[in-house]
Structure formats: C-alpha cells, structure tokens
Chains A and B, each alone.
Chain A
Amino acid sequence: MTEREVKRGGVRELSPIDVYMLLPKTNCKECGEENCMAFATKVVNREVVIMQCPPLLKKEYEKAYKQLSEMLKPAIMEVTIDTGDRAVNVGGKLVMYRHEFTYFNPTAIAIDVTDEMSDDELLGRLKKTEGFKYGYIGQELKLNMIAVRSTSDDVEKFKFAVKKVVENTSLPLILCSFSPTVLESGLVAASKRRPLIYAATKDNWKDMAELALMYDCPLAVFAPNDLNLLRSLVKTLKEYGVKDLVLDPGTFPNEGLTDTINNFTMIRRAACKRDDELLGYPLIGTPIVAWAESEGAPEVSAWNEAYIASMLITRYADILIMHSTEGWALLPNVILRQNIYTDPRKPVAVEPGIRTFGKPDEKSPVMMTTNFALTYYTVASDIESAGLNSYLLVVDSEGIAVDSAVAGRKLTAEKVAEAIKESKIEEKVKHKKLIIPGKAARLSGEIEELSGWEVMVGPRDSSGIPKFLQEKWK
C-alpha cells in the first residue's frame, strides 16, 4: 500500500542516535546547542528543525540532509497557506493519538463570507473574525482564516468580493467554488496570498489542478463519503504535479455523524498507522453544513455547528470552516483546540512557592492555591486586577486543579503545612492566618492541626477574593 521509498522512522522508534549519525558531528555549536548529540535529541523531540544546523545545509551534507528529511517527515504533510508573516501551517502531524507524542499545528478555524453579502456585512464579519481574542493561561486564542464562498457562481461578483477581502484582512484565505472559472477570478484577485483552493471534485479535478499549478496554491479535494474516490483523486492530482493537498471526506450532521467520524478516523489511521501516503494530508471539516440542515432559530444552527466542530477538533480536523461568529459558540472550540494541542509531555504547572502581589507587608493576607497553571493564572489575575497587596502560597498539587486535587489527595494538609514551612512566610508576616480556596474547605481542620496556622476558608472562586478580603480581612 505504501508508496514511500524510504521507511519513515516511527516517532517512538526514532532515537537521537539515528539523527546524530547523520549530523556533521563536529560539535561546532553554531546551532546554539552544546554539541551535536544535544541537537539530535532536540530534533527527535521536535523542538528544533534540522535547518537550524548551518553546516548541514552545505553541499557536502546534501545526502545526509535528504535522508534526515525523509526520516523526520511527518505522517501528515504540512501544508502552508498564504505566505510570509501571514502564513498558517496545517497538518504536519506525527501521530494519531496525542499521547503518542504531541500534536502540531492547531486546527485552523476559518469564518465564512460570501460574494453576495453587503459591504457592511462582509466587512463586519472580517472585523469580528480578526477582533476575536481570548486570554487563556498567558496565551491569546484567536480565529485564523477567512473562507470566501461564491454563492452567486458569478465570476465578477466573486472577483470583487475576494478583492475586498484581500484589501481588508491579513488573515489567510480559502476560496470556495466548484466552478473553475469562478475560482480563477478569485485567484487573480488574491494574487500574492497563496489561498487554499476549495475544491477539486470528480467533475472538475483537471481544471482545479491546472489552477493549483499555475497559481502555486494548495488544493482541497472534496469527495463526500467516498474514500475510494478521495484516494483516487489524490493519486491523480499527485501525478498531475499538485503537491499540497487538503482532504475533505465530507462533514455530515445528524444521522450522518457516524460516517463523518468514521471517515476522519479511518483516513488518519491509514496515514499514521498504515503509512498510506495518499491519505497523509491535512483534513478539512465543514461544520458550517449545520446551517443548511436546520431551520429556525440561529442559536440552534450555531449550537449544532459548535458541537460538530468540537468533535472534529478531537477527531483529527486540521482546518474547520464555520459560520457563527457568536462568542459562546466559538469560545469552547478555541479552548478545546488549545487543550488538545498542548504538549502532553509537559505538565501544565507553575513552580510551587510563595508569590508576592503589589507591596505586601507584615499584615498582608496570605492566600493559598495549587500549582495547576490555569488555577494559578486565574487567581493571580484576580488578585492583580483588584490591586491587592498580598502573598500567594502556591502548593504543589502535581499540576491538578483544587477540587480534583483535594478529591485525588494531590492536595493534602501535609503538603500545605510543608509549603508554609518551606516558604519561610512566617518570617515575612506577623500573623498566622492562611486563606484557603473554598473548594479545599475539607482540609481546614487538618491544616490547622499540622501547621499551627489559623485557616480561613475563602471563596469557591477566586473572583470572590476582593470581596472576601474586604469583609473578612481586618
């Protein structure tokens, strides 16, 4: 089945030695690492890329470079849409399950506009898409692309709409039409932007392939619920010379969900576990279909679209096209995406220990929380935004949130007593009062016994801290 010439090293089997053997082995430090072995280890862990080894790029190492590239090639090809600073990379996945390594290139979410929208509506949607921002554990969660759909099927209208989009946004584009003539008019308007062409089908593949080659753009392949056709089209387009492909096996809502999830799963398994190169491309899902299927309140369409999107983020979609710009529908999805794409090799935890906020003195309150990053950042931001002078004792709960840590005995009275002692907070304040999270109330008696500190049970959510201190901290 595989058409790969060199066997790609499975992520798990690939050892730093395999990479090291092909490096120049001069320990020149030009890459910034201490030696070639350290560099090789980082390469295997996907923390650096081989291009960061300057000698390797020289003519004499050409063969080794090629071998390394092949060895490190991801199961899912990485496809770049747009160019320069604007570019978004999709795919590039090394594994099927996130615990096997880690997922790269978070699912790019595109919001649609059409060539029949009024100026106001179109520009408004661009603005909303670009303006979408949510601060989450020190990151800014955003939307990534604009999909321009030709609902008119009219060459001039599409060209005009794409032109307007190009002039008003720097987000990468997906141009959507099954008509090659309409699509080309968009490509002309979006020159320099290397948009994703959506899509080649069994009927138009030849013309779409010509467009992809002529304008040097990635091409999506649409074969709804027909994996034989999808795979055949990929083979054909590859032979035709189109390198960058994105696959759409169709997103079906409601009773079609089983086929949708099966197709995405089978394609990813074939690529990652069976080395099927013809299916080793990024996947695109279209939760937007929920809008055509349901009538009635827009909340219901947005609701359906949102939950289908979430399932496809979990099951392997690399790009999603969505219609709703409602915050409540998008927020769970950008957060889920962030969660699924975090590196499972690294705990999302902060250093335990004492933190100071503002200019605390010997009478300032001492509060306590866990070292789960999200808990910590949430509490810290609540204290900071209220401008409170205080100490925060961060107890090691092995990176687990308060309620789960208490239930799972990762946060215990012993740990808290020990943290109080180690932090030397007793040298900084003249009182012995510890404010603990409301969700850790269960531990209060035991903490008092073990530490000799008086425990005050604080609010269940840190947003209640300012009010709590105002009322209870005298």
Chain B
Amino acid sequence: MKCFEFMGKEIFAQFGIPVPQGRMVTTAEEAEGVAAEIGKPVVIKSQVLSGKRGKAGGIKFADTPAEAKAAAADLLAMTVQGHPVQRILLEEKLKIESEIYVAITIDGAAKAPVIITSAKGGMDIEEQAEEDIVKVYLDVFLGLQPFLAKDLARRIGLTGNLAKSYADILEKMYNIMVKKDAELVEINPLVISGDQVIAADAKVTIDDSALYRQKDVPFVDEDMTEVEKMAKAAGVGSFVELGGNIAIMANGAGITMGTLDMVQLFGGQPANFMDAGGGTGVEGTAKAIQILLAQNPKVIFINIFGGITRCDDVANALAYVKKNIGIPVPVVVRMVGTNQEEGVRILREVGIEAYREMKEAAQKAVELSKAGEEV
C-alpha cells in the first residue's frame, strides 16, 4: 500500500528523520492559517499518489498567507492524473543547495534489502546515469551497520556533519523498513540546506501482507477504482479493473493471468483480473459474480480448474445469482476438476453449457463480446 507524502513524513518524524515544518490540510482557509503559522514562504503540494505531480501542476509556491490560500484553492479544484486533489501539504520552502537520491527497498532476486543512493537527486532514478548510482545489498541479519552508512556518505561525496546527518537518516530509513514493514522507503530529494539534511519528499510503501500488524497506518485506497473498492469490501481475493468488456473470473493468479492473455490473443478485451482464490464457497463466489456484473460487461467468462475450489460451489453460486439477481449478459463457463459432473449438471439446469477446454471457452467469450458490432 502506497502512503501519501504527508503520511510518509509523519512516519519520518516519528523515527527522527528531519522533515520541513508543515502540515496537511483539506481547505483553503486552513491553508492560510498554516502559512501564517509557518511565517515564511511556503510550498503547497497536492497529496496524490501519482509520481509526476510537479509536471502536472500539482505543486505551487506562495510568499504570503493570502497567496497560500489562493494557491490552495486552485490545487483543491484540480485533478492530477485522474485523482481529484482532496488534501494538500503546506511546508516551509527550503533553501536548496543540493539534492540527493536515497531509497531502501527489497530485492526479491537477491533475497535482501538494498540501498540505492545517488548524489544527483531530484530526478527519477531511472533517468540517472548508471555510474552515478551507488547500490548496496544488506545482510538481513546484520541490518544497516553504522560503518556502511558512513561509507555510503563518502561514496556520494559527503563530508563532515553532512555525512553524519546522511548516515543517521539512512539508519532511520532502515528502521522504518523493518519496524513499519515497508517495501519501499524513498526520499527524493533529500535536500542539503545550509548545514542541514532534510527529507523534502517521502515515498513509503507498506507491505500489503503486513497491514494486519501496522494498524496505526491509515488505509489508502486512492489508486483503487470504485469497482476495486467494492471487490475489496466484498472480500474478493484479488481484483484489478482493466477496462474491457469481458468480465473474467478464474481461480489462482497464474491461470487468471493466462485466461486474460488468451482472451486478448483471440482479440477480446478483458474487463478485469479476478482471482477468486481457492475454496471460496458458494456465498463468496456469488459475491464475486456480482462484482463482475457491476462492471456492465458484454460477456462473463468463468474459468475454473477445481482443486480446492469445487465446481459445484461455483455452479451453485452462478445459479443463485441468475435466479435471484439476474444475469443480463451471456455467461461462458469452463469447468474441470473437483466435482466437475455435479457442477456441469447444475449449470445445465439454469441453461448454461460448460466447456472442458479453456481454448474453446475463451474463443466463445470473445465471439460473444463482439456480437452486434459492425464488422
């Protein structure tokens, strides 16, 4: 789960990483008050998860509280890459002498945390030259030892107190990764302002699997669509909206991806990724089918290889939704595995013929999705 910048900075402050003086607000009036409190020129930053805020006009500057109020009103009326701006962060404007890039993340292949840093902050790490980037893998049992942090400071050209402050920030970033279950802690830019090193930005991503033990971090669902929020509320394992007209449900991430790929290769457009999981039962499956319907698709395509998932459960769920809620579009089902015969029989009773082969079913779903279209 990606955190908003202001949330990341709250975590930074808790762990002792210096951040600019400031506060998050939701109205222009509050913005004026905070600007007056700060008593200096301010920067006003829209709080959206999009990475390219600055380029999209989502960051403004103001010298007086009145200017801050006007700028805040502008930002709060804006939409940045599809996200209406609901929150803004007001902060003292820093005097920037130079900018550093620093991030800690987890490298799955190396099975280790990795620190990535560069003396050239302010731009995306992808845009930087390979020779400017310093990358160090950490031993998970040693963590980030002070000697390593100090050497990293040296390698990006810092000396004296600045080097000390940088090393201290690195150690705190590592603590955040471990204690807050962060998959990513990124500061870009980390700003040198006089004798201070300050985090001008904050990107923190919390491991979704660890949210259960990070209950003090508020849940952020800004990057979810309305249907994705519905799916989450309904307890559907895994759902991503993709925008096509063939609503798809399968069980297992791999086969769901494989089903989407096949539909697309046959010329169809998947509406979504839905991994209904294993052993979801009749009720859970019925809820999942209703999420498919909520997308107003032209066709529903269900692909089940029954292992833990029982074909009769899926069939009963379909029959239930068809009888009690109604399914106004054609349904294509491919069903093999556990309790297959029973599932096929139940479906036949409600007028749905199940396929055995994934290929034929996918072709049929694509064909139906194009029905009525001019050729």
Q: Are the chains A and B members of one assembly?
A: no
B interface residues, Cβ below 8 angstroms from A: none
